[in-house]
Chains A and B, each alone.
Chain A
Amino acid sequence: MAAIFQGLQFYPGKSIVHRLDPRVKLFLSSALLITTLLYLEVTVTTLIIAIEVALAAVSGTVKRWIRTVYGAIPLIIAVFAMNYLVRAFQYSGFLNPMGLYESFAASYRLIAFLASFSIFFLTTTPEELGMTLTKLRVPYTYTFAFISAIRFTPILAEELQTIMDAQRARGLELDRGGPLARIRKYIPVLVPLIVNILRRSYELAEAMEVKCFGASKKRTFLKELKMTPKDLAALVIIAVFFGSAIYLRFFYPLRIP
C-alpha cells in the first residue's frame, strides 16, 4: 500500500518533462485526467495509458510509475468488485457480458486516472509546485499546507512501515483472518501513526512560528517561472489534443468499444 505514495514523490532528473514549465505540466496532467473521466471506452483509456507510459519513459520514471500502479492494485480490485456487484443487480445477472465489460472499463480507467497526476508529481519539485499554485493565486497558507503534505508523505510511508514492523514483532498478523478481522487488526497500526502525525504537525507549527511564518504578506521567490517557446509549443500541442478529445466526446461521439 505504501508503494502508491512513491508516485507522488519527486525524483530529480533532467529530462524534457522535468524541464517543462510546471504550469504546462499541470495542464497536461489535468487534460489527461479530464479526458480519462470523459471516456469509458477501453480504447481511449488504452491510448491515454500509452501516452502516460511514453511520458514516463521520456522522463525516466517508468519504474516508479509502475510501482504506483502496482501499489494501487488493491484499490483497482475494490473498484472492480464494487462495479461488478452494482451492475449485477442492474443487469440482473452475474455473468452479463455488458456488466463485466463496464466493470473492467471502470477499474482499468483507474490506472490512467492515478497515473495522470503521478507524472506531474514525479517530475515537479515541491518548490516549483509552490510557485505554480502561487501563480494560480492560491493563498500561500494553503499552498504551504499542500506542499508539506506532499513532502511528509514519504516520511509517513516510512513510519507506517516501522509501526507495522513493531506490531508484527508483537505477534500481530495483519494478513490473517476474515475481511472484518483484518480491518480491526489495523487499529494497532493506525493509532500510533495518527499520534505521530499529530505530534509532527505540532512540531512543524512551532518551527514555522519560530521562523516568523506569515510575517510578510507578499512572498517573493528565488526563482521565477518563465514560459519559454518550448513550453508554449507544448502547451499548444496539449491544447489541440485536449480540445479534440472534448469535441469528439460531446459533438461527434465515436462508436468504439
Chain B
Amino acid sequence: MIRLEDVEYFYPNGHKALDQVRLEIEKGEVVALMGENGAGKTTLLKHLNGLLKPTRGRVLVDGIDTRKATVAALSRKIGLVFQNAEDMFFSSTVWDEVAFSLRNFGYEEEVVKRRVEWALKFMELDRYVDQSPFVLSGGEKKRLALAIILAWSPDIIALDEPTTGQDQLQKEKLMEMIKLLNMQGRTVIISSHDVEFVAQLRPRVILMKKGKIISDGGAEEVFLDEEVLRSCNLLPPQIVSLTRRLDFLGIKPSLPHPRQLAEEILSKLGEYKI
C-alpha cells in the first residue's frame, strides 16, 4: 500500500512541483495519473521509490517512510519504468541489460538466468537475447524497459508515459499486459495524457494540475466532468462525447465499452422501426 501524507515538493530551483498531495493506493489497484506536462505526474512517481524525497509531508510504501530507505530497497517493491527507455540501456546485449538489475539486487546467478529468460519470453523479446539493445525498434525498446523491471517481479509497477510513440497495436498489447499484471495481484500505476488509452483501461483516474490533485475517482466519473478535464487541457474520450450527442436516443452520458454502446444504439434504433 502506498500512502502520501500532505506531500509537498520543491525542486532545487524553487519550483513547487507537488502541493498538498494526499493519496492512498491500495494493493492491486490500477491507477492512472493524468494531467498536462508539468502537472507533477513524473515528480509524484519518483517519490514512490525514493528518487525524490518530499520537502514536507511523507511518503509511506508498505509502512516504510521513503526518507528512511534507500532507492535500491524501495525499487525492489516498486519498479519504475522511465518514459525514455534509452536512458537506461548500456549493455552490449539484451540479455545483460536485464541481468544487470538482478545482479544489483544480489540474486544468485542461477536465479538471474531463469528470471532473465522468463522476462524476455514474457515480453516476446527472447529472439533478441544476443543483440544490442540499441538496435531494437521503438516499441521493442519500451518492452525491454518493462522486461527489465518485471524480471525482479516487484509488487508495484509504475509506468511513466508508457504510450508515447507507440502505435495502436503496441498500445493494445500494453493494455493487455497491464491487465495481466493486475490479475497477478500487482498494483499498476501509469502516468499518461492519452485519454483514449486510459478510457479503454478504465482504471482509477487521478487528475493533477500544477502539483495538486484536483480529481480522483473511477474513470467514468472523472471523464464525465468535462469542465475539470478541460481545465487540465484534456479532452474527454471520444466515446463520452459520442454518448453526449446521442441524447436524442435516450442514451445518458457515460463511458461504455464501444461494443456495448453499439448494441445499445442498435436496440434504440430498433424502436424507431425504420
Contacts and interface: CB of A to CB of B under 8 A. Distances in A.
Contacts of A192: 86-90
Given A191-B90, A196-B86, A169 B134 contact: no
B249 interface: no
Most chain A CB within a 10 A radius of its CB, from B49, B71, B101: B71
A183 interface: no
A221 B75 CA distance: 52
Nearest to B82: A166
Contact of B49 (A159, A167, A169, A172): A169
B87 A171 contact: no
A187 interface: yes
Interface string A95-117: 00000000000000000000000
B150 to A, nearest CB: 12
B51 A165 contact: yes
Contact of B51 (A163, A168, A191, A196): A168
A166 B87 contact: yes
Given A168-B72, A169-B82, A173-B104, A187 B51 contact: no
A190 B90 CA distance: 8
A187 B46 contact: no
Contact of A171 (B76, B89, B90): B76
Contacts of A173: 70-72, 104
A56 B90 CA distance: 40
B238 interface: no
A171 B101 contact: yes
A94 B172 CA distance: 68
Interface in A205-234: none
A240 B100 CA distance: 60
Say which size band chain A's interface belongs to: 20 to 34
Interface of B: 46, 49, 51, 70-72, 75-76, 79-80, 82, 84, 86-90, 100-101, 104-105, 134, 148-149, 152
Contacts of B101: 170-171
A170 B88 contact: yes
Given A192-B87, A192-B90, A195-B86, A171 B105 contact: yes
Contact of B71 (A169, A187, A196): A169
B82 A188 contact: no
Given A163-B88, A170-B148, A171-B72, A188 B100 contact: yes
A162 interface: yes
Contacts of B49: 169
Interface of A: 159, 162-163, 165-173, 187-192, 195-196
Contact of A166 (B72, B88, B152): B88
Nearest to B80: A169
A188 B75 CA distance: 17
Nearest to A190: B90
Nearest to A165: B51
A253 B183 CA distance: 81
A223 B168 CA distance: 49
A107 B72 CA distance: 35
B71 A195 contact: no
Q: Which A-B residue pairs are the 7 nearest by beta carbons?
A: A171-B104, A191-B90, A170-B101, A166-B88, A169-B80, A166-B82, A168-B71
Nearest to A163: B87
Contact of A167 (B76, B88, B149): B88
B80 A188 contact: no
B87 A168 contact: no
Given A166-B82, A170-B100, A171-B105, 5 more contacts: A162-B87, A171-B104, A189-B90, A192-B86, A195-B86
Contact of A169 (B75, B90, B100): B75
Contacts of A191: 89-90
Contact of B90 (A159, A168, A188): A188
A171 B112 CA distance: 14
A159 B90 CA distance: 15
Contacts of A196: 86-87
A169 B51 contact: yes
